[in-house]
Chains A and B, each alone.
Chain A
Amino acid sequence: EAQVTQNPRYLITVTGKKLTVTCSQNMNHEYMSWYRQDPGLGLRQIYYSMNVEVTDKGDVPEGYKVSRKEKRNFPLILESPSPNQTSLYFCASSYLGTSGGSQETQYFGPGTRLLVL
């Protein structure tokens, strides 16, 4: 079954305590990305990766780091979490079919709800 998995699903932490949210996909997709979802703001992209060792900033990258050492994994790292990073986080992977156009296949993970005290 094609899927994107995230761990943990729920996390409560304190300001300044480093944490990592893992993301893994089993579809051999080259493109992966992280989003945060906040009420009234929709989803905003944090970072994305076009392939192994290729990452770039999205719209809200401040306070986050990522790495892409393997194709299937794309962890999100918060070196020093702050309360304004309390949010719902989604990882996603994408593939554009050979027919191009709008035949994008995109899967989102189930989300990680983070509370930073």
Chain B
Amino acid sequence: QQQVKQSPQSLIVQKGGISIINCAYENTAFDYFPWYQQFPGKGPALLIAIRPDVSEKKEGRFTISFNKSAKQFSLHIMDSQPGDSATYFCAASMAPPAQGGKLIFGQGTELSVKP
């Protein structure tokens, strides 16, 4: 019930292509859905986050799509670049961490963008 399932585990995309990573959750009380980017040897970095009152949020080349009825959300990286090669984590919680929400993370997706 507390799980967040992320797929695929790894993804190879050509430069300029669209990278799509999917997450599914079970707990309908989740209210905050962030995505993180992690480069090797570094800590995760908050990339973009969405609340369930909107179906899509875009920041630059990164877009979150949210489907409340299906309990799914996804990250789209448009015009993928080799510099986007990293591990991406989705997460979900009942509130943003600063409001005491406990993040439940997906297992991660290793993205490789080929030149």
Residues of A that sit less than 8 Å from B by CB: 4, 29-31, 33, 40-45, 48, 50, 58-59, 90, 92, 94-96, 101-102, 104-111
Closest chain-A Cβ to B96's Cβ sits at a distance in Å of 4
Main secondary structure of the interface of B (DSSP, over half): mixed
Instruction: Establish whether residues B97 and A48, one from each chain, have CB atoms under 8 Å apart when the complex forms.
Output: yes
B residues in contact with A102, CB < 8 Å: 32, 34, 49-51, 57, 96
Closest chain-A Cβ to B104's Cβ sits at a distance in Å of 8
Pairs A–B under 8 Å by Cβ, sample size 29: A4-B43, A29-B98, A30-B98, A31-B98, A41-B107, A42-B105, A42-B106, A42-B107, A42-B108, A43-B44, A43-B91, A43-B105, A45-B102, A45-B103, A48-B100, A59-B102, A92-B97, A94-B98, A96-B96, A96-B99, A102-B32, A104-B34, A104-B46, A104-B97, A106-B34, A108-B45, A110-B41, A110-B43, A111-B43
A residues in contact with B50, CB < 8 Å: 102
Main secondary structure of the interface of A (DSSP, over half): strand
Instruction: Establish whether residues B51 and A108, one from each chain, have CB atoms under 8 Å apart when the complex forms.
Output: no
Give residues 5-47 of B contacting A (CB, 8 Å).
Answer: 6, 32, 34, 41-46
A residues in contact with B43, CB < 8 Å: 4, 90, 92, 108-111
